[in-house]
Chain A
Amino acid sequence: MIDSIIEMFSYTFMQRAFIVGILISLCAALVGVSLVLRRYSMIGDGLSHVAFGSVALATILGIAPIEFSIPLVIIVSFLVLKINNNSKISGDSLIAIISASSLAIGTFLVSIKGVNIDINSYLFGSILSLDKSDMIFSVILSLFVIILYIISYNKIFAITFDDTFAKSIGINVNLYNMIFSTLCSIIVVLGMRLVGSLLISSLIIFPTLTSINIFKKFKTVVISSVIISIITFTTGLTLSYYIATPTGATIVIVNLIAFIISYIYSILFQKKK
């Protein structure tokens, strides 16, 4: 048992996958709490498709996919915010349009160019594709997210609970919205290499949903989401290593199981009042 764990960690790609994955899971859970509770879950999903399109574009143009995709996805996320705030198109239809179009454009570009890219590795992720720059990016990202969370935790709570009130007492809600869109974009682009663009949004959404089935205070929801996120990630990655299944799908399935358990718990122990 111990031998096989040592063997697992002897591969560089597994070490990277664990480090990048744990950091991304941590950030995804922190940002996810606010997105889910403000009912913006679909933004992560929409942006992941945009990321797919932009990575495909970058590959065809022969430029570095991450460096190209991060700013592009951030710009799209700002556009979504802007249009969402003052437009007749409702937020969810807007995101549906953007995500379907990006996916279509990405696939279209790849096939027209006939480039030899493995679409599957973008759609469903591939831990083999992680390199050193992914590690550096994810360390910087997670440091930033953790510091931001610590210094503005109370403001993040106020905005998440009631953004109109938060605005009325002088909190710069628009600034925080932009920061969160940026973070969400970076998480999506980095996480997409690991679990794939079709599955990355689940890392943002699942831990919070699981956690709010059990916990009823914001602080415990935040902390437990992070813990759940890291546990489900490491379990999923380890499982996928041993039974040779796709990493992204395995992590999502572990998350699903955790969610179902928490849901059953909430029915058994909380509805009785």
Chain B
Amino acid sequence: MNAPLRRVGVVVMILFGLLFANLNWIQAYKADEYRNSDYNGRVQVAEYDRKRGNIEVGGTAYALSKETGGKLKFQRSYPDGEVYAHVLGYKPVNLGDIGIEQVENDFLAGTSDQLIGDRVKDMFTGNKTGGGNVLLTLSKGAQATAFKELQNNRVGATRGAAIAIDPRSGAVQALVSMPSFDPNPLVSHDTEAAQTAYNKLNRDPDRPLANRALSETLPPGSTFKIVMAAAALESGIGPQTEIPAGSSYTPPTSGSPIKNAAATICPGPTGTPVTLKDAVTFSCNTGFAQLGVKLGADKVKEKARQFGFEQDDLTVGQLNEGGLPVAASRTGDMQNPDGGTDPAALAQSSIGQNNVRMTPLQGALIAASVANGGSQMRPYLVKQLLAPDRTTSYYTAKPRELRRPVSGQVAADLQDMMVSVVKKGTGENAAIKGYTVGGKTGTAQSGPDTPDHGWFIGFALDKNGTPISAVCVELERAGKGGSAEAARIAGRIMEAAIAGSGGR
């Protein structure tokens, strides 16, 4: 019986050898992967071991960490949480993080490669230096105004968005999505309470967690006419050139006529001429519908693309990489099933209906490129990354052009027409005393039985013609008076942005 006993001894050794080999696999080869796994609760405890950096706007911290004395040593908090929620996002214990908190996580947490010097120093001193600080481009005044004015809009809209950017640099001055939410309950260390708070927000039919300014698109309505006007100007039509309009227009092959918002706009039988400038000023649907059919789908789509439509990888954060994702704006399908252009779809698309969809950011970028002489600057939110000791700067934004959708001459003509909209047309509410304001209103049908969306895109120039702010305000399902209210809110936001930038 001894021979089999010895063999059993060998078998046991083999079994233990297998255990040993497998432990090597787990504890040596896979160790790093398991140690840093998303499912590993220890990662969180380690994350809370070091004080997370601030996110600041105009010298005030709107995301900061306080010592707790608990197992997770620091509690994140967001003063004025609702106002900044969609920009800052949140950094919860167990849920996913979003916003600047997510995209700048490494720097805020202090694990970024840039902060390696601090980590090495910590090893010698035994201290725990906190994470770095992120300084945003936002203007406190413009952000607060945008939030307040959207909340208290006079048409009773419950959803909407506003975004303001500096046309010269692309720096975002304000970014608000309505309804907003308070991020503080989500970062509670009581993970069940945080989950409950999250579930409640996630189930809300108004979807407060969505960032409507960047990641939601809606039909832009007449604001799209600026793109159309740019295409017209480039195909030889001047601001004073007369284009056919009239009170009603029925595109070929389609039975349903396109009409103007009021009988007083471009009156007369189909084809009655109106200047391009007047067509913009009074938002003449029939004129632009016929213009679109004349220009053709390709030109319309190409112009929109040059303004930034169809770009699906734009992010707003730092200028080199990363940032909050931006949804692509689309001109959509304008074709018949047989592949040819459908004139009815093209006519509807030319007035920002049919399948045209735009983000508020894209609206603001159109206005900004017009204000900035045809140069569209890349939008960004992160102004500076500051070391934990606040002396060294690891990143300072250097503005750069994203694209050049129109020439300086076309931009000047468009500016002139948009200024006329605010002076004597549909956008009068946006006017700011002492500044030249231009813009374009938009009213877009949201569905057969739901109220229309109200839009306004616009810009403000100082006395020297220098652009200071470009803005887009969108009031979802605002109904009657929505675009006029959007224009008013846009004016107030730009006014605050002007005050914030020194009141030039």
User: Do A and B belong to a common assembly?
Assistant: no
Q: Contact residues of A with B, CB < 8 Å?
A: none
